């Protein structure tokens, strides 16, 4: 187990280093001046001095200085929001994204797994067909459509939820549910496939033959096996839900990290951009590691195989 | 295994609960409004966005302010009106004896000097330095002296640290007459057999500096010390003087009839002395290694404590109570302000909705009382609702702003090809061929006003802009033929540069130019950063542009097109135009001055056409009917102290 963790950790660091280097190269090759905000032209002397102040006049220096700062979660100043540091911006947005992502994944599991199990146990009935329809909808309808529909229905017509923003419990359900739908659909499909396989396995037939009720067989025996592919999907899914919620954030006005990531790229806010890329990739690597470890913990055969 | 899964879920839930504890809630404010873009900065010296001005001018107070109904200057932190000398060059402001900072300290003239100096310093100042530099005696000199020094110190610090410098950096060393020792070192670096002009020959100079075996450590230290020693002496030459008896004397370089309009502007706001506690610099010195004046950018936070800093102290009717990044800023009445007891709207929330449609929904749902902007794809529908009176709470504010096209006036494009727009007849033909009525009424449908002049008409008292050119296809064809391109033959492909927001307007005008003049127009839509770069490099023939007035005088528009002005993107240069503006600057009689400015503008919009004015913007705003005291005005200036919520 320890060996597995160390190996994954080392691999993860290499991944982050590659991502950082690639992003860095892209950041320095994009045309434009990050200090230029708005329409007016900046005095060239001041621009040079600012570049020098942040070591941006020398790419090598910038590359290492930024990395050195990043090790202490110091990503320098933002050029778009002068009064905040990148660390503050990321620090204020990260908990929001993490919370939204986690809640979305919990909702996705809570919806997706039962639908998958029911679809599999009632194969080819109307339940299965509706489950399939749900999967199709969830995967193919973009979140900005579901988000807008939910927003209009619950916030504007029924007045049971605020229109957007963040800060109270009432702000949570709509964006979390919207974000959860595509994941729920995918989880439902994975569960259904896994369940169909498991239900035709020998141990299920044995259990049924011993007189165990079919419901118990499905939920206690078959799901245990069928859940493993879902679990391995949960790692990348959680990371994706935490980091890829840009559209949902935009629709519901949620102050998460996704918007900063996109805006930083548009504004050439190099510190914020590199900072969020580092944080995003660290989350991805960490969650993948976590899933590997969990997997090994749940199914001890795995760690021996690795 | 299932218990294990449950354990994992429980861990997830507790993490969620932990994260949730980081968010909080507070009771609703008396008045809430939406700022879709968040705050860029609350540093008055640095800000340049209307949204930031709105907050700043409610929490700070300059020497003057504006009446939101008439936009006339009114008194604020100083007695009004100030004493003005007979020649109009010296203004003496007496700071009100009851002017107080939000911590109870009296506001002093020195606070204004501190604030204005921040507005001039490279490092703190940005877009609006020119408002001080162009008007106050000695200020422009100080700014260029500081900028040159910053450039030289940057170069020397790089050389000292062993890094190579580039041509621009090397050139910076040539402008330093007082850095005597650097000059000597320069002469050593120079090869006498190969004469070198340091102001132009950056490349060879950089090569030699990089190869030179000089004691840059010592050179840098001496130059730095010399500059620091001269700082306050040089600033004393700037015409801003605080006296012990509570007066601030400002000496102007030219009579400036709109000076009291300017003094309410953020760059002229005072700055509390505590801010100096957060100056970042090389040890024991007021400036950084590069020569910049830099402050810990966190000084604008109400809850920032460090090295005795008490958190943001301001002197306006309101103070900043809390500020959550990109979510909310809450203002409460400044208890020490002289009007504190008269203000009925005690708390104001600025809420951030990045998505403007969502902010409109929030308004409809009653979550906010005021939307100071509704720039959404269905703007035309909002304009219709406002114009027909179907929604009496929607208003269209005429903004002091013009949307126009720049013609590149250079004789060659950056690719070195001949540029047809060097000929004023071609520019005029292109201007005449555009049917702006059609663009405004059939394409945009936002209720904007058609523009034939650069300065919006009926918006600046005492000034009537010239008529400009109207749509006339026949005259356009005649002019283009005159210029040697009958029916467009011989015209190169016309590059039209714009940003994604201009798509519809640009397609429409391109079609008009194609139909009327036979021109072939290449539409080049660029993302705004790349657009800005192309524009700065003049890599275009025609480019979209807009200009928002900074103050209530025609020169805020007309100065943009003087020769060599930093905002003169078309590269236009006409000495007759410059002369008229200079003459106006020296004229004190308002009517004569307006006449001169009108003649200058007529050169722009009737004769030379370096720009093609398209429209003057309107901005839709929404105010709940139960809110009184929000006055729609062209500068979108909404002081909260006038607001009364009668819900």
Query: Which residues of chain B are within 8 Å of residue A40 when distances are taken between CB atoms?
Result: 48, 126-127, 566-567
- Strand partners for B403: B546, B615
CB contact under 8 A, A48 and B46: no
Of A82, A152, A251, the CB nearest to B46: A82
Give the three-state DSSP class for B450. strand
- pLDDT bin (cut points 50, 70, 90) of residue A163 is confident
Domain boundaries, chain B: 2-36+321-369+624-645, 140-235, 398-618
CB contact under 8 A, A165 and B351: yes
- pLDDT bin (cut points 50, 70, 90) of residue B185 is low
**What was the pLDDT predicted at B2?**
57
Q: What is the DSSP string of B142-209?
A: HHHHHHHHHHHHHHHHHHHTT----HHHHHHGGG-TT-HHHHHHHHHHS-TTS---TTT-HHHHHHHH
**B351 touches A: beta carbon within 8 Å:** yes
Contacts for B277-286: CB closer than 8 Å, 24+ residues apart: B277/B306, B277/B307, B277/B308, B277/B309, B278/B306, B278/B307, B278/B309, B282/B224, B285/B224, B285/B228, B286/B228, B286/B231
**What was the pLDDT predicted at B20?**
56
Query: Of A182-191, A220-229, B318-327, B420-429, which gets the smallest average pLDDT?
Result: A220-229
Query: Which residues of chain B are within 8 Å of residue A86 when distances are taken between CB atoms?
Result: none
Report the sign of the C-alpha dihedral through residues A152, A158, A162, A168, in that order: negative
- Asked if residue B62 lies in contact with residue B84, where contact means CB atoms within 8 angstroms, the answer is no
CB contact under 8 A, A164 and B151: no
* Nearest chain B alpha carbon to A77: B297
**B364 touches A: beta carbon within 8 Å:** yes
Phi/psi at B495 (nearest 5 deg)? -85, 120
- Asked if residue B327 lies in contact with residue A165, where contact means CB atoms within 8 angstroms, the answer is yes
* First-to-last C-alpha distance (Å) of chain B: 58
**A300 touches B: beta carbon within 8 Å:** no
CA–CA separation, A120 vs A136, rounded Å?
A: 16
**B296 touches A: beta carbon within 8 Å:** no
**What was the pLDDT predicted at A305?**
52
* Nearest chain B alpha carbon to A51: B154
- Asked if residue B300 lies in contact with residue B41, where contact means CB atoms within 8 angstroms, the answer is yes
- Greater pLDDT, A5 or A40: A5
* Cα of B309 to nearest chain A Cα, Å: 16
CB contact under 8 A, A53 and B290: yes
Region A177-185: mean pLDDT is 93
Residue B434 has pLDDT above 70, yes or no: yes
Residue B183 has pLDDT above 80, yes or no: no
Entry pTM = 0.85
Region B312-333: mean pLDDT is 94
CB contact under 8 A, A48 and B169: yes
Region A104-108: mean pLDDT is 93
**What was the pLDDT predicted at B632?**
87
**What was the pLDDT predicted at B307?**
85
**A273 touches B: beta carbon within 8 Å:** no
**A156 touches B: beta carbon within 8 Å:** yes
**B41 touches A: beta carbon within 8 Å:** yes
Query: Which residues of chain A are within 8 Å of residue B154 when distances are taken between CB atoms?
Result: 45, 48-49, 52
CB contact under 8 A, B23 and A167: yes
Please report the residues numbered 107 through 146 in chain A whose beta carbons come closer than 8 angstroms to any beta carbon of chain B.
109
State what percent of residues in chain B have pLDDT above 70.
92
CA–CA separation, A240 vs A217, rounded Å?
A: 33
**What was the pLDDT predicted at A53?**
79
* Nearest chain B alpha carbon to A95: B19
Residue B84 has pLDDT above 90, yes or no: yes
* Cα of A135 to nearest chain B Cα, Å: 23
- pLDDT bin (cut points 50, 70, 90) of residue B178 is very low
CB contact under 8 A, A268 and B127: no
- The class level of CATH for B398-618 reads alpha beta
**What was the pLDDT predicted at B460?**
87
**What was the pLDDT predicted at B495?**
92
Q: Which residues contact B354 (CB under 8 A, 6 or more apart)?
A: A249, A250, A253, A259, B36, B37, B38, B326
State what percent of residues in chain A have pLDDT above 90.
16
Query: Which residues of chain A are within 8 Å of residue B298 when distances are taken between CB atoms?
Result: 83-85
CB contact under 8 A, A165 and B22: no
**B22 touches A: beta carbon within 8 Å:** yes
Residue B640's alpha-carbon distances to B57, B316, B465, in angstroms, are 10, 11, 33
- Greater pLDDT, B43 or A51: B43
The Cβ of residue A35 has, within 10 Å, a number of other Cβ atoms equal to 15
**A164 touches B: beta carbon within 8 Å:** yes
* Cα of B345 to nearest chain A Cα, Å: 23
Of A31, A43, A255, the CB nearest to B122: A43
Give the three-state DSSP class for B612. strand
Residue B22 has pLDDT above 60, yes or no: no
**B28 touches A: beta carbon within 8 Å:** no
**A212 touches B: beta carbon within 8 Å:** no
CB contact under 8 A, B530 and A106: no
**What was the pLDDT predicted at B341?**
94
| Mean per-residue pLDDT of chain A | 84
Strands B279-280 and B294-295: antiparallel
Region B562-585: mean pLDDT is 91
Q: What is the pLDDT of residues B240-260, one digit of tens each?
A: 999 988 999 999 998 899 999
- Asked if residue B628 lies in contact with residue B644, where contact means CB atoms within 8 angstroms, the answer is yes
* Cα of B592 to nearest chain A Cα, Å: 31
A54: nearest Cα among A65, A67, A68: A65
Q: Which domains occur in chain A, in start order?
A: 95-259+284-305 (1.10.3720.10)
- pLDDT bin (cut points 50, 70, 90) of residue B556 is very high
**What was the pLDDT predicted at A306?**
46
Region B38-44: mean pLDDT is 90
Phi/psi at B620 (nearest 5 deg)? -75, 135
Residue with tokens 């958190």: B311
Of A46, A84, A92, the CB nearest to B150: A46
**A32 touches B: beta carbon within 8 Å:** yes
Residue B406 has pLDDT above 70, yes or no: yes
Which tokens sit at A200?
């035709």
Residue B63 has pLDDT above 90, yes or no: yes
Residue A46 has pLDDT above 80, yes or no: no
Q: What is the pLDDT of residues B452-490, one digit of tens each?
A: 999 999 888 889 999 999 999 999 999 999 999 999 899
B516: nearest Cα among B432, B422, B405, B444: B432
Q: Give the number of A-B residue pairs with CB atoms closer than 8 Å.
A: 194
- Greater pLDDT, B340 or A228: B340
Residue with tokens 């528009």: B557
**A99 touches B: beta carbon within 8 Å:** yes
């Amino acid at each position: 187990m320890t060996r597995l963790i160390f190996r994954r950790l080392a691999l993860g660091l290499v991944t982050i280093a590659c991502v950082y280097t690639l992003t860095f190269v892209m950041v320095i090759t994009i045309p434009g001046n990050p200090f230029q905000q708005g329409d007016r032209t900046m005095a060239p002397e001041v621009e040079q001095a600012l570049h020098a102040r942040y070591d941006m006049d020398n790419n090598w220096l910038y590359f290492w200085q930024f990395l050195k700062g990043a090790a202490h979660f110091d990503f320098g100043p933002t050029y778009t929001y002068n009064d905040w540091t990148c660390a503050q911006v990321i620090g204020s947005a990260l908990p929001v994204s993490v919370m939204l992502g986690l809640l979305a994944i919990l909702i996705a599991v809570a919806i997706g797994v039962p639908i998958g199990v029911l679809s599999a146990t009632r194969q080819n009935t109307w339940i299965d067909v509706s489950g399939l329809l749900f999967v199709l909808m969830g995967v193919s309808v973009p979140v900005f459509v579901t988000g807008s529909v939910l927003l209009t229905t619950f916030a504007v017509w029924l007045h049971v939820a605020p229109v957007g923003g963040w800060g109270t419990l009432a702000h949570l359900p709509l964006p979390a549910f919207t974000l959860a739908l595509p994941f729920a659909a995918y989880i439902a499909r994975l569960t259904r496939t896994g369940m169909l396989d498991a239900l035709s396995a020998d141990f299920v037939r044995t259990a049924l033959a011993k007189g165990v009720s079919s419901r118990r067989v499905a939920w206690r025996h078959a799901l245990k096996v069928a859940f493993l592919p879902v679990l391995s999907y949960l790692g990348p899914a959680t990371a994706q839900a935490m980091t890829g919620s840009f559209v949902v954030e935009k629709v519901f006005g949620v102050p998460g990290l996704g918007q900063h990531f996109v805006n930083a790229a548009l504004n050439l806010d190099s510190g914020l951009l590199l900072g969020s890329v580092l944080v995003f990739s660290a989350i991805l690597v960490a969650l993948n590691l976590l899933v590997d470890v969990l997997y090994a913990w749940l199914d001890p055969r795995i760690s021996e195989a690795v | 295994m299932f218990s294990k899964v449950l354990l994992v879920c429980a861990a997830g839930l507790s993490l969620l609960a932990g994260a949730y504890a980081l968010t909080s809630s507070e009771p609703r404010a008396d008045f809430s409004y939406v700022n879709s873009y968040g705050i860029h900065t609350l540093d008055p010296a640095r800000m340049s966005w209307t949204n930031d001005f709105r907050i700043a001018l409610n929490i700070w107070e300059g020497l003057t302010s504006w009446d939101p109904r008439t936009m006339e200057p009114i008194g604020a932190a100083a007695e009004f009106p100030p004493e003005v000398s007979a020649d109009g060059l010296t203004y003496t402001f007496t700071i009100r004896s009851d002017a107080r900072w939000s911590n109870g300290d009296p506001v002093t003239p020195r606070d204004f000097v501190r604030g204005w100096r921040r507005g001039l310093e490279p490092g703190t100042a940005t877009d609006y330095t020119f408002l001080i530099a162009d008007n106050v005696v000695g200020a422009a000199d100080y700014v260029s002296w500081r900028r040159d020094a910053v450039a030289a110190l940057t170069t020397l610090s790089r050389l000292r640290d062993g890094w190579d410098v580039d041509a621009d950096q090397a050139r910076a060393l040539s402008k330093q007459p007082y850095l005597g020792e650097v000059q000597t070192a320069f002469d050593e670096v120079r090869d006498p057999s190969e004469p070198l002009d340091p102001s132009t020959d950056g490349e060879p100079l950089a090569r030699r500096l990089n190869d030179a075996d000089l004691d840059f450590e010592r050179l840098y230290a001496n130059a730095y010390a010399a500059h620091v020693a001269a700082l306050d002496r040089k600033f004393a030459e700037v015409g801003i003087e605080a006296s012990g008896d509570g007066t601030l004397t400002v000496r102007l370089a030219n009579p400036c009839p709109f000076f009291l309009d300017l003094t309410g502007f953020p760059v002229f706001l005072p700055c509390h002395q505590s801010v100096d506690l957060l100056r970042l610099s090389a040890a024991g010195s007021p400036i950084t290694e590069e020569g910049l004046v830099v402050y810990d950018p966190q000084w604008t936070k109400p809850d920032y404590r460090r090295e005795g800093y008490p958190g943001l102290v301001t002197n306006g009717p309101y103070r900043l109570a809390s500020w959550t990044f990109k979510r909310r800023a809450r203002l409460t009445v400044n208890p020490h302000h002289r009007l504190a007891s008269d203000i009925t709207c005690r708390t104001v929330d600025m809420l951030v909705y990045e998505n403007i449609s969502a902010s409109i929904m929030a308004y409809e749902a009653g979550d906010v009382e005021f939307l100071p902007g509704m720039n959404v794809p269905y703007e035309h529908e909002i304009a219709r609702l406002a114009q027909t009176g179907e929604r009496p709470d929607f208003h269209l504010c005429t903004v002091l702003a013009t949307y126009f096209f720049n013609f590149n006036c250079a004789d060659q494009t950056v690719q070195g090809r001949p540029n047809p727009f060097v000929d004023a007849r071609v520019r005029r033909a292109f201007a005449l061929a555009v049917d702006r009525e059609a663009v405004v009424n059939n394409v945009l449908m936002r209720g904007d006003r058609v523009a034939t002049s650069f300065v919006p008409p009926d918006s600046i008292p005492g000034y009537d802009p010239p008529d400009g050119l109207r749509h006339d296809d026949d005259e356009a064809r005649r002019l283009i033929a005159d210029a040697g391109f009958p029916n467009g033959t011989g015209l190169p492909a016309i590059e039209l540069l714009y940003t994604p927001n201009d798509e519809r307007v640009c397609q429409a005008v391109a079609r008009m130019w194609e139909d009327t003049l036979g021109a072939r127009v290449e539409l080049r839509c660029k993302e705004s950063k790349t657009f800005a770069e192309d524009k700065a490099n003049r890599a275009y023939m025609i480019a979209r542009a807009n200009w928002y007035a900074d103050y209530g005088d025609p020169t805020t528009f007309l100065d943009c097109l003087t020769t060599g002005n930093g905002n003169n993107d078309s590269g236009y240069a006409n000495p007759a135009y410059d002369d008229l503006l200079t003459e106006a600057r020296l004229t004190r009689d308002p009517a004569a001055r307006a006449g001169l400015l009108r003649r200058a503008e007529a050169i722009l919009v009737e004769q030379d056409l370096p720009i093609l004015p398209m429209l003057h913007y309107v901005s839709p705003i929404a105010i709940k009917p139960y809110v009184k005291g929000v006055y729609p005005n062209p500068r979108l200036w909404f002081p909260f102290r006038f607001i009364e919520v009668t819900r």
